[in-house]
Structure 1
Amino acid sequence: MNSTVSARVFRRRRFVAAVTAIVVVGSAGYSTAALSQPMPTVTAAITVPVVETSAASQIAWPSVGRGALGAVGFDGVLSSSGGEDPFPIASLTKVITSLVVLDHKPIAAGENGPKIDITDDDVQWLDDSIAENGSWEEVVSGSVLTQRQVLEAMMLPSANNYSKTLVIWAFGSVDEFLGATQTWLDKHGLTGTTLTNSSGLGASNVSTTRDLVEIGKLALANPVLASVVSEKTAILPDIGEIKNLNSLLGTAGITGMKTGTDDASGSCILFSAVVPVGDTTVTVVGATLGAVNAGERNAALLDVLESAPSAFERVQLVTAGERVGSYSPDWIGGEEKSSDVVAGADASVLVWKGTTVTAQAKAKPLENGDTGSKVGSLEFTLSAPALDQPALISVPLTLAEDIAAPTLWQRLTNPDF
Structure 2
Amino acid sequence: MADQEPPIEQLERLRRLAYSRDGTADDRRRLAELEAELTAQSDAEPATVTSQEKQVEPLEVTISREVAETAPLRPRRSTDDLSHFAEAMVREREVERDVPPPVDPVIRRKRRRRRAIIGGIVGLVVAALLGGYITFALTAPIGSATIDATAPTVTPPAATLISMSPEGESAISVSGADDYLGASASGIWMSGGGDDPLPIASISKLITTLVVLDAKPLGAGENGPTITFDKADHALYDKYYVLDATIAAMPTGSSMSEHDALEMMLVISASNYAEAVSTWAFGSQSSFLRATKTWLAANGLDHTTMVEPTGIDARNTSTPSDLIALAKIAMANPVVAEIVKMQTLEVPNVPPQLNTNDLLGVDGISGIKTGTLDPSGSNLLFSATMDVGTGTPLNVVGVVLGGFSHESVDLDVKALLASITAGFHNVNLGNSGDEIGTYATPWGESAKIVLGKSSIVLTWSDTPITTTFTVEPLTTGARGDTVGEITWVAGATTVTAPLILDADIDPPTAWWRLTHPFDLGG
Q: Alpha-carbon deviation of 1:230?
A: 3.9
Q: Conserved in 1, the CA contact under 8 Å of 2:175 and 2:395?
A: yes
Counterpart check, 1:288 vs 2:400: yes
Q: Alpha-carbon deviation of 1:289?
A: 0.5
**Residue in structure 2 matched with residue 301 of structure 1 by the alignment:** 410
Q: Conserved in 2, the CA contact under 8 Å of 1:268 and 1:297?
A: yes
Q: Which segment drifts farther, 365-374 or 172-181?
A: 172-181
Q: Alpha-carbon deviation of 1:218?
A: 7.7
Q: Conserved in 1, the CA contact under 8 Å of 2:165 and 2:400?
A: no
- Shift of the 81–142 alpha-carbon distance from structure 1 to 2, 3 Å rule, reads same
Q: Conserved in 2, the CA contact under 8 Å of 1:324 and 1:341?
A: yes
Counterparts of 2:442 and 2:292, CA distance in 1:
76
- Shift of the 10–195 alpha-carbon distance from structure 1 to 2, 3 Å rule, reads farther
**Residue in structure 2 matched with residue 328 of structure 1 by the alignment:** 439
Q: Alpha-carbon deviation of 1:142?
A: 7.2
Q: Which has the higher helix share?
A: 2
Counterparts of 2:478 and 2:316, CA distance in 1:
68
Q: Conserved in 1, the CA contact under 8 Å of 2:480 and 2:500?
A: yes
Residues 49-85 of structure 1, C-alpha deviations (whole Å, 9 max, x = no match): 33242354473733x4112356786553675421035
Counterparts of 2:364 and 2:277, CA distance in 1:
28
- Shift of the 182–46 alpha-carbon distance from structure 1 to 2, 3 Å rule, reads farther
Counterpart check, 1:399 vs 2:500: yes
- Shift of the 249–220 alpha-carbon distance from structure 1 to 2, 3 Å rule, reads same
Q: Conserved in 1, the CA contact under 8 Å of 2:201 and 2:372?
A: yes
Q: Conserved in 2, the CA contact under 8 Å of 1:129 and 1:161?
A: no
Matches within 5 A, 1:52-201: 52-57=156-161, 59=163, 61-62=165-166, 64-68=167-171, 74=177, 75=181, 76=185, 80-85=191-196, 87-95=198-206, 108=220, 112-119=221-228, 143-145=255-257, 147=259, 149-158=260-269, 159=271, 160-161=274-275, 164=278, 194=304, 199=309, 201=311
**Please, which runs of 5 or more residues in structure 2 have no aligned partner?**
1-107
Residues 289-317 of structure 1, C-alpha deviations (whole Å, 9 max, x = no match): 1236xxx2422432553586467264533
**Residue in structure 1 matched with residue 101 of structure 2 by the alignment:** none
Give me the CA root mean square deviation.
5.3
Among candidates 454, 469, 476, match of residue 362 of structure 1:
469
Give the TM-score of the pair, scaled to structure 2. Answer: 0.55
Q: Conserved in 1, the CA contact under 8 Å of 2:156 and 2:465?
A: no
Matches within 5 A, 1:367-382: 367=474, 368=477, 371=480, 373=482, 375-382=484-491
Whichever residue aligns with residue 288 of structure 1, its letter is: V
Q: Alpha-carbon deviation of 1:153?
A: 2.1
Q: Alpha-carbon deviation of 1:10?
A: 0.7
Q: Alpha-carbon deviation of 1:339?
A: 2.5
Counterparts of 1:224 and 1:332, CA distance in 2:
76
Q: Conserved in 2, the CA contact under 8 Å of 1:118 and 1:141?
A: no
Among candidates 340, 344, 348, match of residue 233 of structure 1:
344
Give the TM-score of the pair, scaled to structure 1. Answer: 0.65
Q: Which has the higher strand share?
A: 1
Whichever residue aligns with residue 377 of structure 1, its letter is: I
Q: Conserved in 1, the CA contact under 8 Å of 2:170 and 2:400?
A: yes
Whichever residue aligns with residue 157 of structure 1, its letter is: I
Residues 167-223 of structure 1, C-alpha deviations (whole Å, 9 max, x = no match): 879xx988778767766x57xxxx8865768957464652325x6557657867888
**Residue in structure 2 matched with residue 388 of structure 1 by the alignment:** none
| Secondary structure, counterpart of 1:316 in structure 2 | strand
Counterparts of 2:218 and 2:481, CA distance in 1:
50
Q: Alpha-carbon deviation of 1:2?
A: 1.1
Matches within 5 A, 1:302-321: 302-303=411-412, 305=414, 309=418, 312=422, 314-321=425-432
**Residue in structure 2 matched with residue 415 of structure 1 by the alignment:** 520
Q: Conserved in 2, the CA contact under 8 Å of 1:344 and 1:395?
A: no
Residues 83-106 of structure 1, C-alpha deviations (whole Å, 9 max, x = no match): 03555534335556767959x968
Q: Conserved in 1, the CA contact under 8 Å of 2:144 and 2:441?
A: no
**Please, which runs of 5 or more residues in structure 1 have no aligned partner?**
383-390
Q: Alpha-carbon deviation of 1:370?
A: 5.9
Counterpart check, 1:270 vs 2:381: yes
| Secondary structure, counterpart of 2:490 in structure 1 | strand
Whichever residue aligns with residue 61 of structure 1, its letter is: S
Q: Conserved in 1, the CA contact under 8 Å of 2:164 and 2:412?
A: yes
Q: Alpha-carbon deviation of 1:356?
A: 3.6
Bigger radius of gyration: 2
Counterparts of 2:210 and 2:481, CA distance in 1:
50
**Residue in structure 1 matched with residue 153 of structure 2 by the alignment:** 49
- Shift of the 43–125 alpha-carbon distance from structure 1 to 2, 3 Å rule, reads farther
Q: Alpha-carbon deviation of 1:372?
A: 7.2
Q: Alpha-carbon deviation of 1:320?
A: 3.4
**Residue in structure 2 matched with residue 206 of structure 1 by the alignment:** 318
Q: Conserved in 1, the CA contact under 8 Å of 2:443 and 2:508?
A: no
